A and B are shown apart, each in its own frame.
Chain A
């Protein structure tokens, strides 16, 4: 029966993982072509890398959000983690102007992980739905930032700290692009690992996974920890790139969810690939860039996003039900 599939398995697996999110890759290609048509200079190396650099935080957030969504949860706190991360960095620099940037960066990543850990533990141990847990976490962090800064943070981030967000390595390659590549590779490897497969199985059927020996609570907590860490990494990039503001991360949580949904990942868990989720983030960024070039007001970005998120889920559901009907037809005699 299945022996012939083994030899072709790697190719098939790639094809299958692309196949699941095929529409988003097509969309991305269309948008990139449209960008080239609108702005012939778009693909000059520096400008294209600058585009990737701008997209990097969202791509990283989408990868983190994917991990949480695929095991059946939500993380609404990532935008607030970005804001809190940027503000915390500037406040620390305010008190210790000579703090070494690797230490600050590592500290932020750790704080992000701890935030995720708290959300994860509250969700799994206290059985608070993650939608509520992370909504609460978002409000707590936003309030804390406001309280701490009085609404307008003052101060400067050190040049060293900002390098990751706006500097370049080896001449022209931005550090942000490297960070994005590394985070992407880590996410892909993670999802191919035993842990990644058990995480998806947990999102698909918690009971079946638990009875197969999967520690479902632990798997979910790890997903939240990784999402929090990804958000802190995004905070480092955003702080470096656009500097300090009390709105640094506003709206990122919904952009990340939109990106994941655009990648064909099913809310509720158990389905979709991380590559498609990251492609969704690139598509979203490309669309914003395109609208900007076309002279559409940036104020409409959230409107566009709203249309996209509804359309993506709506079309996904329509497609799926048609597919399902066809499947039941073709095997119509089987269920009895």
Chain B
């Protein structure tokens, strides 16, 4: 794809909210057929800039020029008419309507004053075919589609109104690895058709795979725009945080630091897992790798009693116990930081304090709630940045929300700490803080298990790595294993049924 002529230019865009300046004269341009990535930590201003472009915010200063015409959008509909489409992180689809009805929502083709369903469905089928999408029919109900396919419908919906510029705000965040691969293919096809794509992402690897240029924002300011071919991950991360990449992962455990066995599973299984043998030791971080659907999340939830083992034996702290409920697991000193922080990790409308104390209040066996001073020390320890302990957790950034979840478990003094995607949706700065904290906790003698779909994180953090495939543990790798080794194990079917494998080449 050649970035030849500028199609869209944003010049000197500034925006303040209630006197707080969140964008300082940011400029950005985009060529037809280009994928232009926008990266930066949470709070850098990426989303605000894109909302200005989409007419959702009116800028205080600056201009937007599209195809040589200057625009001043005061409403999203104007931006849409001008050819700007935006795919938000939260989809705006009606679950109980069909794909075609969603694609043409509010602009249904009519015939004699009535909705022309046939034309609508035919046109939707054309759009789906144009985009090279298979497996979705115009008459499918959106509620029956996976998250990935719903996202595709969102994109097709934008295409239906002849967009020139498509903004995608962290499109792969809710997707599994192989789904992300399919999305990348779709993005490339759209760019090849001459659309300009502004692509926001935290995942630098996909940014480098997809984009022609990368723009880094920090604290509402433009830091740099570089051709992807002329830069590398180190440079981009440095621009984002002003920190070296090597500071990313804390040093691993010495063999002397690893102590007694805290948890064992022998022959554990349920409808998603088979023949799980596992031992977690004090002071050690055990990583669980695997493709989406390989059973890595199921394993964490089984250990925690949320989706319990139905067979096999398990010991915790030397005592036989196979938890049937989370409460039993918690009483035995097991904690789980779940993958879905907003739905499962926090009561979002409650304060930082109430969330941090929730486990100790609910399960007196873990020693009761800590005193106010201890709680404050605990929140400082997880390096929480909040306005105060009374702040409702829904107003915190993803990273700080995650720190509250961790504090909630630490208050109950766990002996086994399970993390499912410890840094999903967390910005780079908070990521490093969480990594450091997790290693500290291991060093203090907690047995830690990390499930992560981000291989660099998993390899960087783990003292040993168990690779899962089809509900089994396919193999074990020592610290610092290469990504290729992990992938090789993850894509090898232990049961000798290669036809069950569909996502072999799509591990992103």
Contact = CB atoms under 8 A, between A and B. Distances in A.
B350 A6 contact: no
Contacts of A127: none
B372 interface: yes
A237 to B, nearest CB: 33
Identify which of A2, A5, A204 gathers the most chain B CB atoms within 10 Å of its CB: A2
Chain A contact surface mostly: helix
B211 interface: no
Contacts of A194: 361-362, 364, 369
A194 B389 CA distance: 17
A316 to B, nearest CB: 14
B349 A271 contact: yes
B22 A332 contact: yes
A1 interface: yes
B390 A12 contact: yes
A3 B352 CA distance: 13
B347 A332 contact: no
B373 interface: yes
Contact of B389 (A6, A209, A212, A329): A6
A204 B376 contact: no
B343 interface: yes
Interface stretch (B42-50, B229-237, B288-296, B482-490): B42-50
How many chain A residues sit at the interface, stated as a range, is 35 or more
A1 B338 contact: no
Contact of A333 (B44, B347, B348): B44
Contacts of B43: 331, 333-334, 336
A197 interface: yes
A102 interface: no
B4 to A, nearest CB: 29
B91 interface: no
B327 A215 contact: yes
A207 interface: yes
A336 B200 contact: yes
A12 B348 CA distance: 20
Most buried by B among A197, A208, A335: A208
Contact of B352 (A2, A210, A334, A335): A2
B42 A335 contact: yes
Contact of A336 (B47, B331, B338, B385): B47
A126 to B, nearest CB: 20
A200 B354 contact: yes
Given A9-B372, A209-B358, A334 B42 contact: yes
A212 B359 contact: yes
Given A213-B327, A214-B358, A270-B349, A333 B376 contact: no
A210 B343 CA distance: 11
Nearest to A210: B326
B200 to A, nearest CB: 7
A208 B344 contact: yes
Contact of B346 (A5, A208, A215): A208
Contacts of B347: 200-201, 204-205, 208-209, 270
Contacts of B169: 336
A327 interface: yes
Interface stretch (B13-21, B61-69, B245-253, B453-461): B13-21
A5 B352 CA distance: 12
A330 interface: yes
A281 B37 CA distance: 56
Contacts of A210: 326
Nearest to B397: A334
Contacts of B408: 212
B23 interface: yes
Contact of B17 (A4, A198, A329, A335): A329
Interface string B355-390: 101110111100001001100100110001110111
B28 interface: no
A333 B350 CA distance: 23
Given A200-B354, A208-B344, A215-B327, A327 B389 contact: no
A322 interface: no
B154 to A, nearest CB: 18
B359 A332 contact: no
Contacts of A9: 372, 389-390
Contact of B42 (A16, A270, A330, A336): A336
Contact of A332 (B57, B330, B372, B385): B57
A211 interface: yes
A198 B326 CA distance: 16
Interface in A280-336: 326-327, 329-336
Given A1-B384, A197-B354, A208-B345, A333 B362 contact: no
B378 to A, nearest CB: 10
Given A213-B326, A330-B20, A332-B15, A3 B358 contact: no
Interface string A103-114: 000000000000
A125 interface: no
Contacts of B48: 332-333, 336
Given A1-B379, A6-B373, A208-B344, A213 B349 contact: no
Interface in A197-227: 197-198, 200-201, 204-205, 207-215
A3 B350 CA distance: 19
A3 B380 contact: yes
A272 to B, nearest CB: 10
A333 B306 contact: no
A195 B57 CA distance: 43
11 contacts: A1-B379, A197-B350, A198-B361, A201-B354, A209-B347, A327-B395, A332-B22, A332-B51, A333-B220, A335-B42, A336-B46
Interface of B: 15, 17-18, 20, 22-23, 40, 42-48, 51, 57, 169-170, 200, 220, 304, 306, 326-327, 330-331, 336, 338, 343-350, 352, 354-355, 357-359, 361-364, 369, 372-373, 376, 379-380, 384-386, 388-390, 395, 397, 408
Given A208-B346, A270-B350, 17 more contacts: A6-B373, A197-B350, A200-B347, A201-B347, A205-B343, A205-B346, A205-B347, A208-B345, A208-B347, A212-B358, A327-B395, A331-B395, A332-B57, A333-B44, A333-B47, A334-B42, A336-B45
